[in-house]
Every structure is written in C-alpha cells, then in structure tokens.
Amino acid sequence: MTNYITLATQNTLCIFDCRGVQPSLMYWGAPLAGEHSEESLARLHTRQEAPACASDEATISMCPTLGNGYLGKPALEAHRHGKHWSLNFQLTRIEKTSSQSVIFVSEDRHAGVELRQTLSLDNSDLLSAQTEITNTHNEPLCIDHSSAACFALPAYLAEVIAFDGRWANEFQMQTTPLFRGNYSQENRHGRTSHHAFPAAIIQEKNTTESQGRAFGFHLGWSGNHQFHIETLADGRLAVQFGELFLPGEMILQSGQRYQSPTLFGSFSKMGRNRLAQNFHQFVRSKILANQQQEKPRPIHFNTWEAQYFDHDANKLFSLADAAATIGAERFVLDDGWFLGRRHDRSGLGDWHVDTSIYPDGLSPLITHVETLGMEFGLWLEPEMVNPDSELYRKHPDWVLGCHESKTVLARNQLVLNLTRPEVQEYLFDCIDTLLREYSIRYLKWDMNRDLHQPGDHNGHAAVHGQTTALYQLLNRLRQAHPRVEIESCASGGGRADYGILALTDRIWTSDSNDAVDRLNIQKGFSCFFPPEVMGSHVGPHRCHITGRQLDMSTRAGVALFGHMGLEVDLTLESKADLETLSAAINLHKKYRTLIHSGDYFRVDSGEGCDTFGIIDRRKNEALFSHTPLQSKTATLPSVLFFEGLNSDKSYRLSLIWPENFSTTTASIVDEINSIEQPFITSGAALQEHGLQLPLAHPNTVLIFHLLEQD
Ligand code: DGJ
C-alpha cells in the first residue's frame, strides 16, 4: 500500500498520510510551490515526547478511536452490550477511484466492524467526506457517536464562526476565539434547526472577507447533528462533524451498514469570500445540476402575508391580477386551502381542497393564474398532523412520540411517523393525486415544529429514520413528477442544508421579510448557499414580525438579490409603491442571470453598513449593493473599495437604485450618472482608490452597476 495519497486541484492540495493504522489528513491548503516530498512534510511535524504524556500520543486520524489511545473526542464510539467498546481499525485497502477521489477501507477484525471512508475533491475546491460503517459481526452493534470525518487542521487557525439564530432571525454569525478544549455544537431539534445551522468557518486571526486563511465546513443533513472543534492538550486541532444519535438510535444488526451524511469542506487563502464562492459553485454544479436549472427562476407572488388563513376566492383572483400586472411569474397559494384549515389548530393531514372555500376545487384559480401567464404553486406541510383532523381521528397511532410521557404540542400539531410505510404511502398518494389532478408546478414544502419526542412505533428514537424517510418520500415524488419544483421551508429557514437541497430547488430563508434584518440573515445564508436558492420576498411597509417600517425601495432593493418574490397585499399598496416595486422587478429580471450565476463578494465596509457585490465569472459586469444602516458621527459617508473586479479592465460605473436617487447637495451621483459623459475608470482605481459614497438616509439600498468597456 502507498504511504501517501494526494488529491489536488489548481487551488487546493490535500495529502493523507496512510502509514499509520488509520489514514490521517497531513496537509490541506494551497498547493505547495518548490521541491518537497511527502516524507519531508511528515518529518517537519515530528513531535517529541512531552513531559508526563505518552511516548507517542495517538495521531488525529480520520477516525480516531479509544482503541488508538486517543485522548480527544473519538470520531466513532460504539459497543456491543459494553464489549468491543474501544475499536481499533487497521487500514486494509486504498481504492484511488480517480485523481481527485479515494476510498479508504479499514477493519477492526476483533470487533467485527468495517469502515469505508470516501473522499473527493471537486473542481470547485470542495472536499466531500463520508463514512460507511458495516457490522461484520454476528451480534448487533450499538453506535453512540459517529462523525462523517475527522480532520487535523493547521495550528495557525484561531477563531470559529458558527451560526446561531432563532425563528425569523436565522444564520447569525457568531465569532469565538479558539481555546484549549472542545468547542462543540449539538442540534437535537430533529430538523436542521433555526438555532444551530450545521456549519462553521474556522479562520486565522484577522481574516477578512478577502484576506486570510480559512476553512469552511457544512454537514449536508436535515436531522440532528454535532460538531467538535477541539484543541488537544498538546495544541493540535481536530475537527469533526457528524450526525447526532439519541440513545439506542443507531443499532446495526449483523451485516447492516450505516452511511453518514456528507461533510463538505473547503479551504481559502483569500478570506471568506473565496469559501462562499467555492460552496456556491459546488451547489450549482453538483447539487442543483439535474434540477430545473435551465429556465430563469420565476418571480414569486406568495399569498401568506397577504391573506394568512383567511382564504377568499374573489380576493385571490384580485391578488393574482395585481401580481401578474406587476411582473410576478409564479403564484403560490400558501397555508389555508385544505379541509378545515381556517386557523393553525386544525386540518393538517387532510390534504383535500376545502370545498366550502373552493366549491369547484382549485381549477378556477389555477386557470385564472395560468391565463395571466403565471405558474401555480401550492403550500403543503406533509410531515405534520393536527389532532383536530380526519387523519388523526382515524390513525392516532401514526405519530411520533414517547408513549409514557405527556405529548408536547407545537403550533398545535404532531409529527407523523414517516418510518411507517403506510404513512409514507398515504402522503405519497395525497400529493401524487393533487399533482395529477391540478396543474401545479411548484410545492412549498413546509415543516413547522421541532421533533421533541421522536419515538417510533417500536419505541425507538427515530430522528435518523424520520430524516431518511423524508428523503425517500421526496425522492419518490421527484421521480414521479420531475417537472415540479419544491421549496424547503421550515418556519422559514429551519431546514436549510445540502441534504434537503439535493431533493429540492429553493430554500425559504426566513419568515422575516424585514429588509434590514434580512441583510444580516442573507449574509449568513450566503456563506454556503448561492443567491438563486435564497427565497427573498418583498413584505409589507410595516413588517408583520418586527414592526419595522421601511420604504418600498429598501424592501425591494434587498429582495432582488435572491430568488425574488412578493409577499404583500398588493391591493393595499400605493400607486407610487407599486411603481417602485415594478421597477425593482424589472431590474431583477434584467440582471437575474448575473445575480443567479455570478461570484459573490462581501466587502469589509465597516460597522453600521452592509456591502456586497455579484460579479459575472468573466468579470465583465457587476452589481454592488451598499446600505448604510446607522447614522454616523462623521459628516460624510466613507469610501467604498470595490472587490473582485479585474484591475486591468475599465468599467462604466453608474448608480441604478434607488430610481431617481437624489441627495441634498451635488455628489458623486451627478458625476457617475451623467448621461452626456459616462463615468469610466479602471478596476484597479475602483478597488484601490475607491468611491466616495453619497449621503443617504439609513436603510437606503444603493445599487451600483459596473460594465466593462472595451
Ligand atoms: C411557516 C412558513 O415559513 C410561512 O412562510 C408560511 O408558509 C406558514 N408557515 C404557513 O403556515
């Protein structure tokens, strides 16, 4: 067997040391110039015996275990009734499946466990890692803890950015200095969760958006998860991410195997922007590739904040008229259309049109929507049931629960046990029937509660089973209806991850349509997801959730940088606001391809403002958004230093949003928007010398357009 395995792209080099009992990541970073052998790299890290320690502390392998004598958090903990608890794998086979992928096979013959670790480095510089564990013994194996992979990372790393949040304020970035000990995150919500997004950025000190070395990690999984970023006693750094198991949840019978979710990681030596770009490119080329990518993403009109449960056919017809007039391309009928669903206390589970509201079914509305040139989409929450529903009255045993305990209700609903085949069958039939009966092109698949008591009908913990059953159901529906697009929604952004994204097309980022809060939510989201999957809607003047009041120009200016939509009663908006909205929709349509395919750059523009840009891959055209969020003490705003342009190219610069922007005294805007004399300057000048920003009220979204000039 070879001693070292190398996976490389133009920007990334990964070297695995295979000399020990288990492979370990020896180097992950930029390609190394000059002469060096793998042996010399290994020798550079020769460690001496530390006082009062073992003569040779265990390596941080990709799966360190207690049997190795490892004193950090093991990456696999399992046992058979208390025996075979230590595990000690021996690497037995290396399958180099391509120049950029490898499979390591290891065995613990004594314990009867096989380990298969698959790694591949994609051209977008994403390293994907997955572990498969097989029980080769004749007695069951109970896995208490398992990570998709464990990596030894460089000692220059100094801080962790993790993603905290709550309902209506997801993806909040939280920076913590690394410390001796274990920085860990556990998610036990049973879904990806608002509170603990399964991702982290680990970076060296003073890393900015565009400078510094950083690693990004994301676990593509929609159930419980854990991660550990652990600085060991001797200073080495071990990072592992994986699924989190509840007691007894993962028991492998003889011959059974467990496949971990995939851990996605990337390295950048050019700050966090490059990480985001790598993740975006990977999503575009590998996760969304086979889905509805050919056509532009249609502008949504969603009925939720316009109507809530108060469905009224006439009103919906007027909303459809108003939406089409203003430029919407898809009309999504949200919660409230099905049997008994006049509020959130009843109806979930009974997926039949409520004929007291829609006497002739949904066809008249759908025909109206289609006649107006829009597609029709429908809201569903298939995994849930209200106790007050026909379904629950008939099948009270179809829900997850811990039978001896008092049932926890959340939003008046219970969770259906998808691990029961008859439940899957029921849901498939309901949805399949709707999709066959009606011309539905889009499903908003919602999921509005955590899994507090996730016990199945056999009395076992079942978050893993529930998550894989959901994936199966989605997969089956997609195969039966490949042209129907699906949105992953869970009370907003409670289920955003690459596991669900591989089976859906869009993510509802947050229930908050407050454009100011959205800037921060979208900033966190954009670390791992590209703008085209980021549902982002224009809400009402007074945000229903935060009460903040914002101009249409701000609401629309923020929403147009994602997969744009409207979620507002258009019949109540003023003529002036509708004109502004219509202009923003036109702007989005004009630059939709750029926004949905370009490279995303955040700009370090200081406290109290938000600045980012999207630049096409050839660096010919760009949009930059700058929003001052607070009044400053300085009399004038600062200078904006653009990012990501080609220094050698010349660009024509203009301010394109807000329409007819005017400021108190003559400003740069008069210069750059001069019709007679287009403002042309080099990428270098824009980046190194910068642009003096004009005075603007807080929360004004300023959008600059840059176009290369020959
Ligand atoms: C939560 C979602 O995030 C909202 O957009 C809306 O669809 C409601 N559920 C409907 O109940």
Cβ proximity of 661 and 669 under 8 Å: yes
Which residue's alpha carbon is at the smallest distance from atom 5 of ligand 1? 511
Task: State the CB neighbour count (10 A cutoff) for residue 231.
Answer: 18
The reported pLDDT for the residue numbered 665 is: 87
- Work out the pLDDT band at 251, boundaries 50, 70, 90: very high
Say which amino acid occupies 163: F
Q: How far apart are CA 366 and CA 606, in angstroms?
A: 48
Question: Any residues with CB less than 8 A from the CB of 660 and at least 6 apart, and which?
Answer: none
Which residue's alpha carbon is at the smallest distance from atom 10 of ligand 1? 335
Closest alpha carbon to 317 in 370, 368, 360: 368
> Ligand 1 centre and the CA of 524: distance in Å?
21
The reported pLDDT for the residue numbered 45 is: 95
DSSP-assigned letter for residue 397: G
Ligand 1 atom with least separation from CA of 489: 3
| For residues 27-50, average pLDDT | 96
The reported pLDDT for the residue numbered 64 is: 98
Task: State the CB neighbour count (10 A cutoff) for residue 422.
Answer: 10
Task: State the CB neighbour count (10 A cutoff) for residue 551.
Answer: 17
Q: Is the pLDDT of residue 659 over 90?
A: yes
- Work out the pLDDT band at 68, boundaries 50, 70, 90: very high
Catalytic position from the list 17, 350, 446, 450: 446
Q: Is the pLDDT of residue 506 over 80?
A: yes
> Ligand 1 centre and the CA of 347: distance in Å?
15
Q: Cα 442 from chain centroid?
A: 20
Mutate to test the pocket of ligand 1, among 446, 510, 544 (most ligand atoms within 8 A of CB): 446
Q: How many CA atoms lie within 13 A of 122 on its CB side?
A: 18
Sole residue written with tokens 């889905």: 291
Ligand 1 atom with least separation from CA of 567: 5
Task: State the CB neighbour count (10 A cutoff) for residue 56.
Answer: 10
Question: What's the mean pLDDT when you consider all of the chain?
Answer: 97
Q: How many CA atoms lie within 13 A of 106 on its CB side?
A: 26
Closest alpha carbon to 555 in 700, 696, 693, 662: 700
pTM score, whole prediction: 0.98
Give the three-class secondary structure for 278: helix
Say which amino acid occupies 615: I
Task: State the CB neighbour count (10 A cutoff) for residue 5.
Answer: 19
- For the four alpha carbons of 581, 586, 591 and 596, in that order, the dihedral sign comes to positive
On the question of a cis peptide bond just before residue 658, with omega within 30 degrees of 0, the verdict is yes
pLDDT digits (tens, 9 = 90+) for 206-236: 999 999 999 999 999 999 999 999 999 999 9
Does an H or E element contain 239, and which? strand 237-243
> Ligand 1 centre and the CA of 450: distance in Å?
14
| For residues 12-33, average pLDDT | 97
pLDDT digits (tens, 9 = 90+) for 174-196: 999 999 999 999 999 999 999 99
Q: How far apart are CA 442 and CA 307, in angstroms?
A: 19
- Work out the pLDDT band at 710, boundaries 50, 70, 90: confident
Residue 56 appears among annotated catalytic residues: no
Q: Is the pLDDT of residue 666 over 90?
A: no
> Ligand 1 centre and the CA of 90: distance in Å?
50
> Three-state secondary structure along 108-150?
ECCCCEEEEEEEEECCCCEEEEEEEEEECCCCCEEEEEECCEE
Give the three-class secondary structure for 2: coil
The reported pLDDT for the residue numbered 291 is: 60
- Work out the pLDDT band at 502, boundaries 50, 70, 90: very high
The reported pLDDT for the residue numbered 571 is: 96
The reported pLDDT for the residue numbered 293 is: 67
Which residue's alpha carbon is at the smallest distance from atom 9 of ligand 1? 491
Which alpha helices (DSSP H) does 504-571 contain, by range?
A: 515-525, 552-559
Q: How far apart are CA 702 and CA 661, in angstroms?
A: 9
The reported pLDDT for the residue numbered 663 is: 85
Report angle CA 72, 75, 81 to the nearest 5 degrees. 100
Residue 446 appears among annotated catalytic residues: yes
Sole residue written with tokens 């958006």: 209
Which residue's alpha carbon is at the smallest distance from atom 6 of ligand 1? 304
Which residue's alpha carbon is at the smallest distance from atom 1 of ligand 1? 491
Q: How far apart are CA 222 and CA 187, in angstroms?
A: 10
Report angle CA 88, 91, 95 to the nearest 5 degrees. 150
Ligand 1 atom with least separation from CA of 444: 7
pLDDT digits (tens, 9 = 90+) for 551-598: 999 999 999 999 999 999 999 999 999 999 999 999 999 999 999 999
DSSP-assigned letter for residue 689: I
Q: Is the pLDDT of residue 106 over 70?
A: yes
| For residues 439-454, average pLDDT | 98
φ/ψ (deg, to 5) at 202: -120, 125
Closest alpha carbon to 545 in 574, 514, 518, 589: 514
> Ligand 1 centre and the CA of 670: distance in Å?
44
Which residue's alpha carbon is at the smallest distance from atom 11 of ligand 1? 335
Ligand 1 atom with least separation from CA of 492: 3
Catalytic position from the list 511, 517, 577, 610: 511
The reported pLDDT for the residue numbered 576 is: 97
Q: What residue ranges in 567-620 does DSSP mark as E strands?
A: 599-602, 609-615
Q: Which of 125-129, 249-253, 285-289 has the lowest mean pLDDT?
A: 285-289
| For residues 391-408, average pLDDT | 94
Does an H or E element contain 566, and which? strand 563-566
Cβ proximity of 136 and 112 under 8 Å: yes
The reported pLDDT for the residue numbered 292 is: 59
- For the four alpha carbons of 56, 240, 143 and 255, in that order, the dihedral sign comes to negative
- For the four alpha carbons of 95, 99, 101 and 106, in that order, the dihedral sign comes to positive
Mutate to test the pocket of ligand 1, among 193, 304, 307, 309 (most ligand atoms within 8 A of CB): 304
> Ligand 1 centre and the CA of 489: distance in Å?
8
Both tokens of residue 617? 């891959």
Question: Any residues with CB less than 8 A from the CB of 492 and at least 6 apart, and which?
Answer: 167, 168, 170, 194, 508, 509, 510, 511, 512
Ligand 1 — pocket residues by CB below 6 A?
A: 304, 334-335, 379, 446, 448, 489, 491-492, 508, 511
Which residue's alpha carbon is at the smallest distance from atom 2 of ligand 1? 491
Mutate to test the pocket of ligand 1, among 193, 335, 536 (most ligand atoms within 8 A of CB): 335
| For residues 33-49, average pLDDT | 96
Give the three-class secondary structure for 224: coil
> Ligand 1 centre and the CA of 309: distance in Å?
11
End-to-end CA distance of the chain: 55
| For residues 650-677, average pLDDT | 91
Mutate to test the pocket of ligand 1, among 508, 514, 536 (most ligand atoms within 8 A of CB): 508
* DSSP letters spanning 163-212: EEEETTEEEEEEEEE--SEEEEEEE-SSSS-SS--SEEEEEETT--SSSB
In the β-sheet with 225-231, what is the strand arrangement from edge to edge? 149-153, 237-243, 225-231, 181-187
Say which amino acid occupies 595: I
Both tokens of residue 679? 């403002």
Question: Any residues with CB less than 8 A from the CB of 541 and at least 6 apart, and which?
Answer: 549, 550, 551, 552, 555, 573, 577
Mutate to test the pocket of ligand 1, among 511, 521, 543, 544 (most ligand atoms within 8 A of CB): 511
> Ligand 1 centre and the CA of 311: distance in Å?
15
Give the three-class secondary structure for 100: coil
> Ligand 1 centre and the CA of 304: distance in Å?
7
Closest alpha carbon to 588 in 512, 679, 657: 657
Measured CA distances, 592 to 487, 510, 588, 620, 668 (Å): 19, 21, 5, 15, 27
- Work out the pLDDT band at 404, boundaries 50, 70, 90: confident
pLDDT digits (tens, 9 = 90+) for 596-646: 999 999 999 888 999 999 999 999 999 999 999 999 899 999 999 999 999
> Ligand 1 centre and the CA of 112: distance in Å?
47
| For residues 400-419, average pLDDT | 95
pLDDT digits (tens, 9 = 90+) for 508-545: 999 999 999 999 999 999 999 999 999 999 999 999 99
Both tokens of residue 371? 């006649």
Task: State the CB neighbour count (10 A cutoff) for residue 295.
Answer: 8
Task: State the CB neighbour count (10 A cutoff) for residue 426.
Answer: 18
> Ligand 1 centre and the CA of 491: distance in Å?
6
